[in-house]
Amino acid sequence: MSWLPEASAHAMRIDILLAGLVIISLAVLGLVFGLMALNVLRFRAGRTSPIARASAEHKGWGFEIAWTSATLVIFFGLFLWATQLYVVGFRPPDDAIQIYVTGKQWMWKIQYPGGQREINALHVPVGRPVRLLLTSEDVIHDFSIPVLRIKHDVLPGRYQSLWFTATRTGSFRLYCTQFCGLGHSRMTGTLTVLNATDYAGWLNSAPASGSLATVGEALFIRSGCSGCHASSRYAPDAGDTSRAPSMVGLYGSRVALADGRAIVADAAFLHDSILDPPRRQGASFATEMPSFRGVLAEEDLAALVAYLQTLSPTLPQEAGN
Ligand code: HEC
Ligand SMILES: [Cu+2]
C-alpha cells in the first residue's frame, strides 16, 4: 500500500492482514447497523405490520446454529491467519545474517559478524534474510522498524530475535518504542538497505578489529571460560569434560536440563547460560560455573555467542561474513 510505505515481504503480509481485519469489521458493522435500521423502520410504534411480526416468531434453531457457526469459522480463520504470520515472523531462515543489537539509555549499539560496530545505524543488504539478536544493557526498550512492520520488546539480560528480508534499498527510520527515560525521544536511528555490491563495500570500509567470533575466542580465554570448557573443534576430546560440558557442537544440539526441559541450544540459550548457568540433567561436573552477570558487557556476550556458534561447524554460521 503506497500510503503506508513498506520495505519487506513481511510488511506487505501484515498490511494485507490489517486490510482484511478492517474490511471484515466494516462488514460486521454494516450488517449490525443495517439490521438495526431495518428493524427500527419496520417495527416502529404505530405501524401495524402483522406479517413482519409473525415471521419474527418463527425463527428456528437452524438459523441460530448457522449464524453462530459462520461467525466462529470466520473469526477462527482470522486467528489462524494472524498466528501463521506471527509464527513465521519468529523463525528466521538458517542462512540469515546475524546482527547483534544492544539497547542502552539512550542509543542502539549494533555489532556485525565481521566485527564492524555502529551506533544508531543498521546496514543490511537487500534481498537477504537478516536476523537481529536484541538485548538491553539497562531498562526495557523496544526495537521497531515501521517500514518492515517489525517490533519487539528488548529486555535486559535476555536475547530476543527478529528477522526480515528487506525488499528495497533506501534509508528508513528505526525507533525505540518503549518509554525508557529522559532521552527516550532521542533513541532513534537509521536503517540503510544497500544492494549487494554497496553492502560489501560498506563492510570493507567500516572499521573492524577482527571478526566477532575472533574477538569472542580471545574473550573465551581471557575470561577464564577455557579453564573449564573444552572448545577445540579440531580435537574435541582435548580439555577435561568432567570439569564442565564441552562447547564443541553445543550450539544447535538438544540439552536436557535439570528442571526437565529439553531445549535446543540456540543463541539465546548460549547467552542466557553465561548469565544464569543452567543445571544439566544428572550433571556431575567437578566445577560449578559462576554467573558472569555484571562481569561481561553485552558486547562481550555477543562476541562469545558468535564464537560458540562457530564450534558447531556443520550448522550454517552467520553468513555474509
Ligand atoms: C569454573 C568453571 C567454569 C567456568 C570458568 C565457566 N564455565 Fe560454563 N559451565 C561450567 C559448568 C560446570 C557447566 C554445567 C553446569 C551444570 O550443568 O550444572 C557450565 C555450563 C555452561 C553453559 C551451558 C550449556 C551446557 O552445556 O550446559 C555455557 C553456554 C557455558 N557454560 C559457557 C561458558 C562461558 C562462555 C564461560 C566464560 C565466560 C564459562 N562458561 C565459564 C563451568 C564453567
Ligand atoms: Cu529505549
Q: Give the domain CATH number at 146.
A: 2.60.40.420
Ligand 2 center–CA 41 separation, angstroms? 55
Average pLDDT over residues 241-262: 83
The mean pLDDT of the chain is 85
Q: Assess whether 277 and 260 both reside in one domain.
A: yes
Q: Does 294 reside within a domain?
A: yes
Residue type, position 307, single letter: Y
Q: Which ligand is nearest to the CA of 175?
A: 2
Residue ranges lining ligand 1, Cβ < 6 Å: 223-225, 227-229, 244-245, 250, 255, 270, 273-274, 277-280, 283, 285, 287-289, 292, 304
Alpha carbon nearest to ligand 1 atom 24, residue: 273
**Which residue minimizes the CA distance to atom 15 of ligand 1?**
279
Q: What's the 163 CA to ligand 1 centre distance in angstroms?
A: 28
Mean pLDDT value across residues 312-316:
63
CA 207, 101, 219 angle in degrees (round to 5)? Answer: 65
Which ligand has an atom closest to residue 155 CA?
2
Question: For residue 131, with 0-12 CB atoms within 10 Å meaning exposed, 13-18 middle and 19 or more buried, which class applies?
Answer: buried
Residue 75 lies in a domain: yes
Tens-place pLDDT, residues 160-184: 889 999 999 999 999 999 999 899 9
Within a domain: 162: yes
Domain boundary (57, 89, 121) is at 89
239 and 160 belong to one structural domain: no
* 102 and 194 in a common domain: yes
Q: Which of 144, 178, 205 is the last residue of a domain?
A: 205
Task: Please indicate, yes or no, whether residues 125 and 194 belong to a single structural domain of this protein.
Answer: yes
Instruction: Tell me which residue range forms the domain holding 193.
Output: 97-205
Give the span between the Cα atoms of 27 and 19, in whole angstroms: 12
**Looking at residue 220, which CATH number applies to its domain?**
1.10.760.10
Q: Do 120 and 199 fall within a single domain?
A: yes
Q: Which segment of 4-18, 39-53, 139-153, 293-307 scores lowest on mean pLDDT?
A: 39-53
Tell me: do 83 and 134 sit in the same domain: no
Per the structure, the count of domains in the chain is 3
- Final residue in a domain of this structure, among 61, 89, 117: 89
Tell which residue, 178, 177, 175, 140, has the closest CA to residue 156.
140
Residues 35 and 53 in one domain: yes
Atom nearest to 280 CA in ligand 1: 17
Same domain, 159 and 124: yes
Using an 8 Å Cβ cutoff, are 141 and 101 in contact?
Answer: no
Q: Is residue 316 part of a domain?
A: no
Same domain, 101 and 152: yes
DSSP letter at 251?
A: T
